[in-house]
């Protein structure tokens, strides 16, 4: 396993104290999964006091003591941060992720210390000096069979967040949850253990599911099977909701939504906040179909589901976060997600497209609509070409409303320059001029000023 030189140097220094450095956690797992390693965590065995470790680390870089009471030292060297920790045992004494009694003990064996970890794939170690991997719970076999397996029933249930971690790990690595782990997680859900979790912690797991998984649908389908959707009734409500086989031969609203979520992965930009916004938008885009699907012998339709989806979208998102601006930025994308296809079929006027740009970012809207279009199995969708979206983006670029609406040609100060005194009429005049601008009847400041002059005369 390739390691940063500084970790090897510190390992040699620890050896002089008859101590051993072992790389642990996600970095060892990711080595076997052939994934990029971003963080290195090192457990140090054989020292009596954490102050001894602090002294050694301080010779090479700066040491942040924020986690010292939990047996963790954050070591910074040349701008990179590494976690060095003592082996420890954890015992649940109260609800919440802070409700643990932690005992650090440098004399613990690696197997004893690893018992606190969640899954076998996260419980491997790499002995730096021996250049050997330590695998006390059979992780290598689980990696071979692509199985996610918990280590111990008693320690696993102490943190219910591990159920969500199971969900996002299975999606990220395309793993199957071991039968005994599935039963344990399902039992934890049924007993209401997840109710103690702070939504901020759950939100982090949703983020990882969206941003790190090549196929988030695996995670959401696992949520359904484990019964987790009972905590998100807005999602549960779209399971088994039928759709028109003409437009959605792939199946019900839930199946379509998961296909759309997976398609959105291919449309990610690399900007995490933007990508998260797109992911949540496509997850929520059809929530309104739960209440607005109409079934007749002739057809299945969901007229008005776009607008109807706003309230369940808000309820769902507020279960995860209180980021009001983020939530509000998603709502227009849900409300107008059908606009690109409707406008394309109707060959919408320039004025209609300009008005759309005042309600929603057109580039973002087309991204959501594209995932919606591709997340189905019609012949047209399987072609991979979304003509409506491409057409709207081209029109938006021509009209200079690709990402932003038209800038108003005149402001209040311009009205004052024309001799008007600030009043309640200002807003009416500016709105009227902007409406005419959106219609394309005026396109320059000079034309706007002339229009205002005429408007003033009519008001007089």
Give residue 55's pLDDT: 94
CB 128 within 8 A of CB 21: yes
Show me where the domains of the chain are located.
5-138, 146-231, 239-406, 412-459
pTM of the predicted protein model: 0.92
**pLDDT 10s digits, 226-235:** 999 999 999 9
CATH superfamily for domain 5-138: Beta Polymerase, domain 2 (3.30.460.10)
Q: How many CB atoms lie within 10 A of CB 159?
A: 21
The CATH number fitting domain 146-231, selected from 1.10.110.30, 3.40.50.2000, 3.30.70.1070, 3.40.720.10: 1.10.110.30
pLDDT band of residue 141 (cuts 50, 70, 90) is very high
CA dist 439 and 167 (Å) reads 50
pLDDT band of residue 432 (cuts 50, 70, 90) is very high
User: Which has the closest alpha carbon to 111: 139, 74, 143, 147?
Assistant: 139
**Percentage above 70 pLDDT, the chain:** 97
Give residue 460's pLDDT: 60
**pLDDT 10s digits, 335-368:** 999 999 999 999 999 999 999 999 999 999 999 9
């Amino acid at each position: 396993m390739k390691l940063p030189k500084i970790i090897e140097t510190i390992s040699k220094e620890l050896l002089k104290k008859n101590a051993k450095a072992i790389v642990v956690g996600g970095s060892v797992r990711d080595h076997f999964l052939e994934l990029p390693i971003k963080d290195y965590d090192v457990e140090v065995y054989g020292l009596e006091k954490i102050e001894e470790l602090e002294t050694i680390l301080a010779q090479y870089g700066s040491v942040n003591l924020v986690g010292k009471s939990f047996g963790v030292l954050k070591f910074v060297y040349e701008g990179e941060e590494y976690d060095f920790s003592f082996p420890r045992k954890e015992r649940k004494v109260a609800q919440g992720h802070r409700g643990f009694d932690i005992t650090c003990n440098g004399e613990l064996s690696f197997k004893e210390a690893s018992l606190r970890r969640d899954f076998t794939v996260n419980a491997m170690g790499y002995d730096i000096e021996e250049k050997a991997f330590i695998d006390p719970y059979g992780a290598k076999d689980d990696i071979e069979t692509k199985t996610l397996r918990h280590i111990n029933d008693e320690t696993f249930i102490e943190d219910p967040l591990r159920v969500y971690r199971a969900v996002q790990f299975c999606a990220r690595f395309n793993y199957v949850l071991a039968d005994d782990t599935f039963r344990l997680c399902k039992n934890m859900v049924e007993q209401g253990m997840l109710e103690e979790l702070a939504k901020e912690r759950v939100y982090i797991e949703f983020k990882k599911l969206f941003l790190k998984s090549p196929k988030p649908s695996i995670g959401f389908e696992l949520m359904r099977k484990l019964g987790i959707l009972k905590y998100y009734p807005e999602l549960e409500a779209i399971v088994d909701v039928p759709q028109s086989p003409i437009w959605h031969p792939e199946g019900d609203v839930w199946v379509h939504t998961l296909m759309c979520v997976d398609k959105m992965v291919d449309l990610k930009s690399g900007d995490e906040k933007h990508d998260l916004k797109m992911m949540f938008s496509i997850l929520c885009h059809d929530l309104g179909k739960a209440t607005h699907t109409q079934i007749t012998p002739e057809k299945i339709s969901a007229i008005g589901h776009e607008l109807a989806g706003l309230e369940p979208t808000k309820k769902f998102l507020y279960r995860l976060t209180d980021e009001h601006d983020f939530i509000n930025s998603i709502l227009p994308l849900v409300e107008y997600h059908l606009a690109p296809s409707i406008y394309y079929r109707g060959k919408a006027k320039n004025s209609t497209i300009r008005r759309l740009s005042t309600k929603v970012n057109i580039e973002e809207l087309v991204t959501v609509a594209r995932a919606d279009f591709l997340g189905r199995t019609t012949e047209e969708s399987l072609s991979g070409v979304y003509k409506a979206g491409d057409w709207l983006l081209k029109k938006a670029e021509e009209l200079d409303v690709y990402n932003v609406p038209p800038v108003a040609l005149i402001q209040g100060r311009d009205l004052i320059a024309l001799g008007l005194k600030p009043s309640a009429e200002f807003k009416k005049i500016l709105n009227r001029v902007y409406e005419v601008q959106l219609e394309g009847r005026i396109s320059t400041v000079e034309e706007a000023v002339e229009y205002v002059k005429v408007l003033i005369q009519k008001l007089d």
